[in-house]
Structure 1
Amino acid sequence: MILRIGNASGFYGDRFDAVREMLTGGGPEGGLDVLTGDYLAELTMLILGRDLLKDPSAGYARTFLRQMEEGLGLAHDRGVRIVANAGGLNPAGLADALRTLADRLGVPARIAHVEGDRLPAGPGVLAANAYLGGAGIAACLSAGADVVVTGRVTDAALVTGPAQWFFGWGPEAYDELAGAVVAGHVLECGTQATGGNYAFFTDHDPAVLRRPGFPLAELHADGSAVITKHPGTGGVVDVGTVTAQLLYETAGARYPGPDVTARLDSVRLTQEGPDRVRIDGVRGEAPPPTLKAGLCRLGGFRNEVVFVLTGLDIEAKAELVRGQIGDALAASPPADVRWELVRTDREDAPTEETASALLRLVVRDQDPEKVGRALTGAAIELALAGDPGFHVTAPPGKGAPYGVFETAYVPAGDVPHTAVLPDGARVPVPVPPGNRELVAVPEPEPPEPLPPGPVRRAPLGRVAGARSGDKGGDANVGVWVRGDRAWRWLAHALTVERFRELLPETRDLAVTRHVLPGLRALNFTVTGLLGEGVASQARFDPQAKALGEWLRSRHVDIPEELL
């Protein structure tokens, strides 16, 4: 038996037509058994929390409901089950809305949902949610659900749940569940597995990557899988695109989840054919006794102004503006004031834009007045009193609230994981019978280094790919190479110390290196780089999406044989 499971959404706001494309793109012989959609990121939970404050019937991804206007009928006609975490903070509300939609369309869809992830929220907390596993989804599907919507589950649970239902795996089928977790992690971000955000994109025809198709997995009963996509769609699936996604927002060899802890150091990737990558060998262990939980709260208010500095004396102009704004705010300064000068200017520039640099000011405070009128007034009053050529990229606004994401851990047994079946029956989902405390895997012995030879100064990215992302206030950067000799060099060359040298922003932060020889990869975790998380927008690149590309652009001494 093979479970063909696809993905049609990697985030809230992803390609709207992807549901239709995935339901119709496989043809009569290559259709899907299950179509999933991932709509929940850390920032999304904050957005949904604010929606719920305004409207108690809201709190779910409305885009998904609009997609189901067409998707419900298409899925019913093709016998495809739909599983999505679009329920957000109100999966019961989304399930009710789907039933109303199905009645209006005349589609006999059986709707179920999973709840219990919402935790008691303390003062100032908009949303507190535990990350549930796939067992509740499996229970809904086993009861005949055509559509299952959930609140906060792990991204991989959208695959482990259908797999448990389809293959009948028990909670201690650790290797099989771990294989499904790895496949689910590859699928969860949609087109990032098919050539999107891919470091080596220049290896491929630009036309192929213009509109990547969404990925699907052919999952087998032993937990192995083949990652592919519908025939005729854009993009590419190869060992590199799958490796990149496996490293995205992960860390060490043990990848913990509520269903199982997957051993990423056991993963084997094989190019089976064009746009077909086999994943096998994945080993699993009992899950940890606790569940990760995400807490979203309002952190205060923020505002920003970007001053444009043009032509000569850029540094002096920046110093003048900083001093003038500082004087204006001195009587009641915001709690947090950050300046950043971005030297986008060029000498003897042929256009005014390329002659200009950007001076960015970000302020934060609990008092909206301190980031509102006080700042906007100070900036506007410099229009005729500031540096020569004074102007800003946009008129200063009044400021806006910002959010903070925090991670906590709760005992799995304290979370009332519940499957609400199509007939309304509420079924408690038991905690997995076994658990294992999470401990780091010791770093394996490094490969034999390359023998000494001539080197050339060149960007790291000439031989290494990278993908980076965020987990709360931390950033992760996965770096991999495509050959054994390149791995023998990278494993010794890119130490934590060298990483810090190449990315000076990380010098004063805790950096942890994880070694994954089977993927020829290093995964770095940078603690605290993103402050209080993406919603706080503490950094120019608040989700660290381009941190890996910055690393690839830095110059290092590379053996000439690798170039």
Structure 2
Amino acid sequence: MELKNYSTRWTSQRGARPVRIANCSGYKADPGYHMFYQATLGDVDFITGDYLAEVNIAENAQAHALGQHPGWEQTCWDGIEQSIEVLAEKRIKVIVNGGAHNPKGLAEKVHRLVTEKQLDLKVAYVLGDNLFEEMKDVATTGLPPHLDSDNSEVQHSSHTLDLIKKENKPIVSANAYLGARDIVQGLEEGADIIIAGRVADASPVVGAAWYWHSWCYTSYDELAGALIAGHLIECSGYVTGSNFAGFYEYPLDDLYDLIFGIAEVEKDGTCVITKHDAKKGFVTEDTVKCQLLYELQGNVYLNSDAKAILDGVQVKQEGKDRVRVGGVKGLPPPPTTKLAIFYRAGFQSEIVINATGYGTAEKFDLYERMIKFGLSRLGLLDKFDVLEFQRIGIPEPNPRSQLRSTSYLRIFAEAGDEKVNLGLTGLLTEFAMQHYSGFHATSDQRTAIPKPYISYYPAIYPQTSLRTSVNILEPKKTTSADVETRMIPTTPTPRFEALTKRENYETSNPVDLSTLGPTTRCRLGDVVLARSGDKGANANVGFFIPTLLPSAYPPSSPLYAQAWDWLRTYLTKEKLKEMFAESWDPAFFIERVEFPHIYAVHFVVYGVLGRGVSGSSRLDAFAKGMGDWLRDCVVEVPVTLLEGRGIGKGGETVSRSHL
């Protein structure tokens, strides 16, 4: 794709070819040099960055309110500062949500940099996502509906409504997830760099493609395709080899220091996911499918501008590091958008102690009884919001070292009153010399000291109630160092479509599993890959048959279709409950759908993460490891499917080769 004629990029080239959009960040931790890489290691039209996880905007809210934090993400500024001259030279436009609580402040800082360097770049910022003032008194004004309020089969965590049912739970942040309309308006006004706060993760990519191809608000198929393109590249290196379930079939040195992904979005909304040739990483059908299945909420992906219907999604390798994604359909957006409300929930403590070898289960039984006895004597046992004794790992039989024989007891506690947690911490000293044989722990239990924590309430908010704007920074005519702001109010889409009940089904035409031949017990992951993630209190996990692992069946092989028949028939909701085993709770609820063109089965498990994010008691609070845990479960698999992967008895790989 020829992009070298930078001077004509926004005239003769706009809309005449696919738009090339590079991602430089998926979280605030991604260093600024990734923006510089995307700007310099190849040609792109836009660079987008997603710097906001659900929790980090809340973590900085209090510090920003106290004047102890600038309100925007430092790594976003670092990237712009490193790249600004290249952006001007190559006429690359930048759209980021790194403005966080203070997009105006970061935009003005960038404008000063542009002015100092005398560059021909126009800076803008988006406002309207921050609803703190509207939400700070919800105890009296009323709490917006919960994100899952339309699903009567979902049971919420027992502490979901603490922020209105209990005292002293002040809200620290409330941010709505905005769409792309404000971004498009800013681009139409000539903006080169747009700083937003909480726009939805994929909205910068949607806005870039919408503007480039001059779509209208009813271009639902096209907008939905761009939405999925944004979903695929929004998470740093997740589409180029990071967080990839099949990583072990590649040289380990190929799996770090990765370049991030690029989406080439075509006029019809289909896209090719790729990367710069420079630096490490790889884009295959399998890395794309893994990321496609990440943090979904079923077969409908929601955004403020369109709903993406994924039932027909297709993923196809076109060449080295080039994967085409299509088959996505669009519908009008819902009348509401997500609203993330965080509040000061109380205090949190975490204690980790070790046990080695013989009698480990009894050792942890003893310690739990002792701590509960002490808490009862202090009158504190029933004062906790959460008190869990979690056993992590099991000692290796006939251990080859003490490390292999050691496992952990994790005591996790949350309470509204700091004194309750301090009572738990005090027992560590009181019972310091009363313990099981071989008791040991880290020398400094800093996490045992109660620390304030924030918890999460995911809500929905009417789009028509939002008051959004894009704000263009322009030099004053009198003094070039000064700036004036031209505010342009924006409005939501004029057409919405109410949400319908989410689809939830077993496979429509199961096969007779006996026709697939004799079976043997092996790990699920010997046949399938997976990706899992969080959606507030819920976790999602998608399983699929790989196509481009070195050991995978060729897509033309009959074994590939047989593996799909087995997976969709075998992996039912009841089977998933069985695999959860001791982790299953009757309060959980499962939704199941299929994506037949990519041979994937997808689940959402409602309620498994408690309140979610920083309020969750789970060790894996963001469900990142859930997919790999379930892939390690032993299941009945047809022998022919294992032999086709070069896997023998017990799941041992006979031979593997690199691509």
Matched, 1:427 2:488: yes
The one-letter amino acid paired with 1:387 is Y
1:66 Cα deviation after fit: 2.0
Aligned to 2:530: 466
Q: Structure 1 351/448 Cα, relative in aligned 2: closer, same or farther at 3 Å?
A: closer
Contact 2:223–2:306 (CA<8 Å) still a contact in 1?
A: yes
User: TM-score by structure 1 length?
Assistant: 0.95
Q: Are the counterparts in 2 of residues 501 and 507 from structure 1 also a CA contact under 8 Å? A: no
Equivalents in 2 of 1:421, 1:349: separation in Å?
Answer: 65
Identical columns (%): 34
Instruction: Return the letter of the residue paired with 2:86.
Output: L
1:278 aligns with 2:278: no
Residues in 1 aligned to 2:228 and 2:445: alpha-carbon distance in whole angstroms:
45
Q: Which runs of 5+ in 2 are unaligned?
A: 1-16, 138-169, 475-484, 547-559, 643-659
Shift of 1:304: 1.1
From the superposition, tell whether residues 551 and 442 of structure 1 become closer, same or farther in structure 2 (CA, over 3 Å).
closer
1: distance between equivalents of 2:135 and 2:97? 20
Alignment match, 2:340: 294
1:244 shift after superposition: 0.9
Q: Larger deviation: 46-55 or 443-452?
A: 443-452
- AA aligned to 2:266 is H
Q: Specify the SS of the correspondent of 2:241.
A: coil
Residue pairs, 1:36-47, within 5 angstroms: 36-47=48-59
Q: Quick check: 1:480 aligned with 2:544?
A: yes
Q: Is residue 32–residue 77 contact of structure 2 (8 Å, CA) maintained in 1?
A: no
Show the 5 A alignment for 1:93-108: 93-108=105-120
User: Counterpart in 1 of 2:27?
Assistant: 11
Q: Which among 395, 404, 414 is matched to residue 345 of structure 1?
A: 395
Equivalent-residue separation in structure 2 for 1:416 and 1:306 (angstroms) = 47
By how many angstroms is 1:220 displaced?
Answer: 1.1
Q: Counterparts of 2:540 and 2:430 in 1: how far apart (Å)?
A: 41
Range moving further from structure 2, 424-433 or 176-185: 424-433
Secondary structure (helix, strand or coil) at the match of 2:345 reads strand
CA distance in 2, matches of 1:352, 1:202: 26
- Say what the alpha-carbon RMSD is for the aligned residues: 1.8
Q: How far apart, CA to CA, are the structure 1 residues paired with 2:283 and 2:512?
A: 31
Q: 1:46 to 1:101 in 2, by over 3 A?
A: same
1:558 to 631, 634, 637: 637
Aligned length: 558
Cα distance in structure 1, aligned partners of 2:401 and 2:185:
63
CA contact (8 A) 1:305 1:392 kept: no
Shift of residue 436, structure 1, vs aligned partner: 1.1
TM-score w.r.t. length of structure 2: 0.82
CA distance in 2, matches of 1:106, 1:316: 71
1:271 shift after superposition: 0.8
| Pair 1:388 & 2:434 matched | no
From the superposition, tell whether residues 448 and 310 of structure 1 become closer, same or farther in structure 2 (CA, over 3 Å). Answer: closer
Q: 1:121 aligns with which of 120, 135, 159?
A: 135
Q: Give the equivalent residue in structure 1 for 2:93.
A: 81
Which AA in structure 1 matches 2:572?
T
Measured against aligned partners, the alpha-carbon deviations of 1:72-95 in whole angstroms (never above 9, x if no partner) come to: 122112211111001112211221
Paired AA for residue 385 in structure 1:
Q
Q: Equivalents in 2 of 1:70, 1:92: separation in Å?
A: 20
Secondary structure at 1:63's aligned position in 2?
helix
Three-state SS of the structure 2 residue aligned to 1:503 is helix
Partner-residue secondary structure (3-state), 1:190: coil
SS in 1 for 2:222: helix
Moved more, 165-174 or 502-511: 502-511
CA contact (8 A) 1:383 1:390 kept: no
State the Cα distance separating 1:353 from its structure 2 match: 2.3
Quick check: 1:213 aligned with 2:259?
A: yes
Q: Is the 8 A contact 2:32 2:80 kept in 1?
A: no
Note closer, same or farther for the CA distance 1:289–1:56 as it changes in structure 2 (3 Å cut): farther
Gaps of 5+ in 1: none
8 Å CA contact 1:301–1:371 kept in 2: the answer is yes
How far apart, CA to CA, are the structure 2 residues paired with 1:140 and 1:57?
27
* Aligned pairs for 1:148-167 within 5 A: 148-167=194-213
Separation of aligned partners in 1, 2:512 and 2:565: 5
2:597 corresponds to: 518
Distance change (3 Å), C-alpha of 1:205 and 1:310 = closer
Distance 2:428 2:113 in 1: 50
For residue 449 of structure 1, report the CA deviation from its aligned partner: 5.1
Structure 1 CA distance, aligned partners of 2:523 and 2:374? 44
Out of 457, 462, 467, the position equivalent to 2:521 is 457
When residues 54 and 332 of structure 1 are mapped into structure 2, their CA distance, relative to the original with a 3 A threshold, is farther
Q: State the SS of the aligned residue for 1:300.
A: strand
**Deviation string, structure 1 residues 318-347 (Cα, Å, up to 9, x no partner):** 222222222222223241211012244234
Q: Match of 2:52, as an amino acid?
A: L
Which residues in structure 2 correspond to 1:435-450 (within 5 Å)? 435-439=496-500, 440-441=502-503, 443=505, 445-446=508-509, 448=511
Alpha-carbon distance in structure 1 between the residues aligned to 2:516 and 2:262: 44
